[in-house]
Chains A and B, each alone.
Chain A
Amino acid sequence: MCTQGAHILAEKHTVDRAACSLCFACAKICPTGALERCGREMSVEDVLTLVKKDQAFYGEMGGITLSGGEPLIQREAVLALLKACKAHGISTAVESCGYVDADVLRCAVPFVDLFMWDIKDTNPARHKQYTGVFPDTIIKNLLLINEMGAKIRLRCILVQGINTDAEHYRSVALLAGNLHNLEGVELIPYHAYGGTKAQFLGGVDNGNKAWIPEKHRLEQAKQILKDYGIRVL
């Protein structure tokens, strides 16, 4: 079945990821679904059809949230989808890491009801160390959409021993205080569940339990935000 020789059927069935050409022919015929294609191509119409299916339940309250990966990378498609949703009265939310072209954001803002924006770290050196980039672009983009009137929720991950210091959360509070239309700040403790996903993709479980924040760190962050008058979700 496999033209690339990527399947090794020894005592255990394994897949050589390097050899795999992603044709998905094996996943199509796997009887148990052990080999599964994650993700498929859909048109804007396909997505809208799917979203509309549950309208009887969510009515005017619910809508669509674009997530990822980084959804804004799919520039044209994402803009088309957002426009179509708004045309059909479906509310829209976009999760973004913020490290995208300002252009995409300028085009998207009129069609997005809520931006959920990651602020991982306000310490530039640390941000660079752990994500590979400085936070400047992310902050600049945040202020850009803010100027355009976007409704924003800040999502702040807490990683024990890395960004769980008071200074970072004070910076977040100050940043949040400058936003005109802030829904609130969401504090998200690190969890190690992503490790299993890594395994499914043929890698190793690289979740790090040491990064799970202590409860008092979470409480401290909440308190700092509250002290600055910031709504904590």
Chain B
Amino acid sequence: MDFYTQNGNTRPIRLSEATRVFAHDSLERKYGLNTLETMSVSLDEVEEFDELSALKKHDLAIMKIAQTAPIRICDGEKLSGAATLGLAISHVVPVTYHGAPFCPSISHLTVDFETVLKKGVNAIKVSAGEAYEKYKNTEKEAFCQSCLTCIEAFEIWRGRYLQALKDLPEYWANYRNLERVPFEPATSFYEAVQSLWFTFAFLRLCGNWPGIGRIDYLLGDYLKKDLENGVLTLDEAREILAHFFIKGCEWINGQYIGSGDAQHYQNILLAGIDEDRNEVTNEVTYLVLDILEELGISDFPTTVRINQTTDEKFLRRVAEVMRQGGGILAVYNEDLVISALIKDGYSEREARKFANDGCWEVQIPGRTFFMYSPFDSLQILQQKTLCCYQGSAAFENFEALYHQYTTDLYSCIEGIFLDRQRLFANSGVPTKDWEWAKQPPCTLVSLFEQGCIEKGLSYLEGGPIYNINSPHIGGLADTVNSLYAIKKLVYDEKKLTLCELFSILQNNWEGEEALRQYVLNRYVYYGNDHDEVDEIAARLLSDFADICTSFNGKCGYRFPAGVSTFGRQLEWSSNRLASPHGRKVGEVLAANCSPTPNTDKEGATAIIRSYCKADLSKLATGAALDIKLLPSSVEGEDGLEALVSLMKGFVSLGGFFMQPDVVDASVLKKAQEHPENYQTLSVRVSGWNARFVTLNKQWQDMVIEQNEH
């Protein structure tokens, strides 16, 4: 069978037929549909349920899931464990009481799989036991008890799988592996992969969506040893690893969800340096690339960490896989990312470990609580700065306007800060002795986040070593372009007053088509390597970052800046006025750190040059650039070299994160009309991928527009 590719060539075949069939079935929704057959388990039989504490309800829920969730063993699977309750696909702990779920779940984190692999869950159990003793008879006792209960539930779930596999000779290897892992340390590559998968699966079963993190860093040494000792061949290892990726498709069910059916934040990182500055890239790295290339599974958003010294051969391999399309690989400039993390206060060794959460927001895995707060910077300009101006004194010049804007921006961020504080602080006033407020239970992820057990505090209550709340600026290009258009029209060319312009915007450019066309076509906007406008972008990002940093130290968490829209430009479009740079009400505008659609006229390298003029090391949680490439531009040897050059240039110019996709807008339009022929066509959405046909029409149109040149 074929796996869809943008590329003219077919995908290579390295895996066994059985594995390919398994992949095909999973992508064709076999297991996703099966998952929807049992949505949840219930606690209806529990007496006096309402009297119980939130933590107690939670513990009962996890235990019930472990005891009664359906066990699924897929034909010929090399790894066992499956998240079989349908509600988990909707980001909820799949337990109900009288039909209603009552427990929220966690995502946007990468948990500490390293400890599970190296020390086993039993080591965590020991720590939890010690914590329980330490915090007995204090208010932390309940959390510690919850830790122990959740581990017990995990053991029960494992026991049920052993029971199911026991008498099936074809799954003997799975059985043998699960006898040890994940409770004991892994002693082979096969065990390590199973340990990783099983832990991940249990978290998912219970509704949480963690990321995987640096998979080659986690598994590389095990594989190396097995290859050296002749325990395993590379082909065998590839089969096992492929099953990991295939099992990760167990939730594909074809349901139409606005933002796509593969948004579960199962992020993976490849390559890059470790804390000792050694390059991680190993056999596992190359195997993952092989698997992605062959099967086209884009459900694990995978990002490659590259730097100034990354091997050319490796970059070529990455480019080869990238141009298969599907938005399958993104890129971090790890030199820049690490410097950003150091600037934000991490030690160098810590910074080098970075991974990400669901999309690209950077964090140190296994020890970070992460949350972000998006806002629309264009709305501030339009509905605060320009609007309030109406009554008060004129902005004499551009500087005065810009100054007012940054003041309004400050108010917005202060609002976010106070809002987060209300949510996370026990007392409303920031003091040196910050006390975290009580939050809904999240014990399962807390087990795998360093700091929680030791402190007796959950993931949401200050447990992890690092805690982050990051304001994310959205609509950046539109705000920059708006400011620029105003500067030119009103202050430089003096074609009209600001008051007149604002009236025109309020009337959606009605009767002013010539002026609108002028503004649309005659000014060169952000994304074309034009200093005059790019300077505004660089300045705004810098000022934004400084505003965020000014709040550090006033609360129990870091407050780093980031840039994103994550597709929100769609929902924001109805709340925005017509823009000074010529766009009408309702138009869907810029994504992430990318240019406003249809304003980039100088090609991908110019977009990157504009983007890199800002000091991106001040944006510690990330600034993502979307790059859309036509299949023809990455064809052949020239195309490969072009992609490699693009990545190299991105690093040398100081970019942060780039998510390229290779897709033809005309193909997407065909897919809109005949979805039945394009079932597995994947596109990059905004930090995650999706099968195009599962996006609703609005999202589809947005992706098409982004891809049209």
Show the binding face of A for B, using Cβ within 8 Å.
31-33, 53-54, 56-59, 61-62
Which of these, B521, B605, B608, B641, contacts A61 with CB under 8 Å?
B641
Nearest B-chain residue to A62, judged by Cβ: B645
CA distance A62 to B606 in the complex (A): 16
Find residues 637-652 in chain B having any chain A CB closer than 8 Å to their own CB: 641, 645-646, 648-649, 652
Chain B: minimal CB distance from A191 (Å): 14
Interface of A is mostly: loop
Cβ proximity bits B695-708 to A, threshold 8 Å, 1 near / 0 not: 00000000000000
The tally of residues in B whose CB lies under 8 Å from a CB in A reads 18
CA distance A32 to B494 in the complex (A): 20
**A31-B645 in contact (CB<8A):** no
**A57-B517 in contact (CB<8A):** no
**B514-A31 in contact (CB<8A):** yes
Which of these, A31, A32, A57, A59, contacts B605 with CB under 8 Å?
A57
Q: Is B522 an interface residue (CB 8 A)?
A: yes
**A57-B521 in contact (CB<8A):** no
Which of these, B514, B515, B522, B645, contacts A57 with CB under 8 Å?
B645
CA distance A184 to B245 in the complex (A): 44
Q: Is B20 an interface residue (CB 8 A)?
A: no
**B649-A57 in contact (CB<8A):** yes
CA distance A103 to B515 in the complex (A): 52
**A31-B521 in contact (CB<8A):** yes
Chain B: minimal CB distance from A25 (Å): 15
Which of these, B518, B608, B609, B652, contacts A31 with CB under 8 Å?
B518
Chain A: minimal CB distance from B501 (Å): 16
Nearest A-chain residue to B646, judged by Cβ: A57
Chain A: minimal CB distance from B611 (Å): 12
CA distance A219 to B578 in the complex (A): 56
Interface of B is mostly: helix
**A53-B609 in contact (CB<8A):** yes
CA distance A54 to B521 in the complex (A): 24
Chain B: minimal CB distance from A46 (Å): 15
Q: Which residues of B contact A53 (CB under 8 A)?
A: 529, 605-606, 609
**B517-A31 in contact (CB<8A):** yes
Q: Which residues of B contact A54 (CB under 8 A)?
A: 605, 609, 649
Q: Is B231 an interface residue (CB 8 A)?
A: no
**B648-A57 in contact (CB<8A):** yes
Nearest A-chain residue to B602, judged by Cβ: A53
Chain B: minimal CB distance from A26 (Å): 14
Q: A61-B645, A62-B645 are in contact. Are A56 and B517 (CB under 8 A)?
A: no
CA distance A62 to B646 in the complex (A): 12
**A58-B521 in contact (CB<8A):** no
CA distance A57 to B605 in the complex (A): 8
CA distance A54 to B604 in the complex (A): 10
Q: Which residues of A contact B641 (CB under 8 A)?
A: 61
Q: Which residues of B contact A33 (CB under 8 A)?
A: 521-522
15 contacting pairs across A/B (C-beta < 8 A): A31-B515, A32-B517, A53-B529, A54-B609, A56-B609, A56-B648, A56-B649, A57-B608, A57-B648, A57-B649, A58-B645, A58-B649, A59-B648, A61-B645, A62-B645
Q: Is B13 an interface residue (CB 8 A)?
A: no
Q: Is B653 an interface residue (CB 8 A)?
A: yes
Q: Which residues of B contact A31 (CB under 8 A)?
A: 514-515, 517-518, 521-522
Nearest A-chain residue to B604, judged by Cβ: A57
CA distance A59 to B642 in the complex (A): 11
Chain B: minimal CB distance from A91 (Å): 14
**B649-A32 in contact (CB<8A):** no
Most buried by B among A32, A33, A56, A62: A56
Which of these, B521, B645, B646, B652, contacts A32 with CB under 8 Å?
B521
Q: Which residues of B contact A61 (CB under 8 A)?
A: 641, 645
Nearest A-chain residue to B519, judged by Cβ: A31
Q: Which residues of A contact B653 (CB under 8 A)?
A: 56
Q: Which residues of A contact B648 (CB under 8 A)?
A: 56-57, 59
Chain B: minimal CB distance from A167 (Å): 31
Chain A: minimal CB distance from B519 (Å): 9
- The 10 tightest CB contacts between A and B, nearest first, are A57-B649, A31-B517, A31-B518, A56-B649, A33-B521, A57-B645, A32-B517, A56-B652, A54-B605, A56-B653
CA distance A58 to B515 in the complex (A): 39
**B645-A59 in contact (CB<8A):** yes
Q: Which residues of B contact A62 (CB under 8 A)?
A: 645
CA distance A61 to B652 in the complex (A): 15
CA distance A54 to B608 in the complex (A): 10
Q: Which residues of A contact B518 (CB under 8 A)?
A: 31
Chain A: minimal CB distance from B581 (Å): 14
CA distance A53 to B613 in the complex (A): 13
Q: Which residues of A contact B646 (CB under 8 A)?
A: 57
Q: Which residues of B contact A32 (CB under 8 A)?
A: 517, 521
CA distance A6 to B223 in the complex (A): 75
CA distance A201 to B113 in the complex (A): 65
Chain B: minimal CB distance from A176 (Å): 21
Q: Which residues of B contact A59 (CB under 8 A)?
A: 645, 648
Find residues 500-530 in chain B having any chain A CB closer than 8 Å to their own CB: 514-515, 517-518, 521-522, 529
Nearest A-chain residue to B513, judged by Cβ: A31
Nearest A-chain residue to B608, judged by Cβ: A57
Chain A: minimal CB distance from B12 (Å): 25
Most buried by A among B514, B515, B649: B649
CA distance A62 to B521 in the complex (A): 31
CA distance A57 to B644 in the complex (A): 9
CA distance A50 to B194 in the complex (A): 54
CA distance A61 to B606 in the complex (A): 18
Chain B: minimal CB distance from A24 (Å): 14
CA distance A53 to B645 in the complex (A): 14
Q: Which residues of B contact A58 (CB under 8 A)?
A: 645, 649
CA distance A63 to B217 in the complex (A): 38
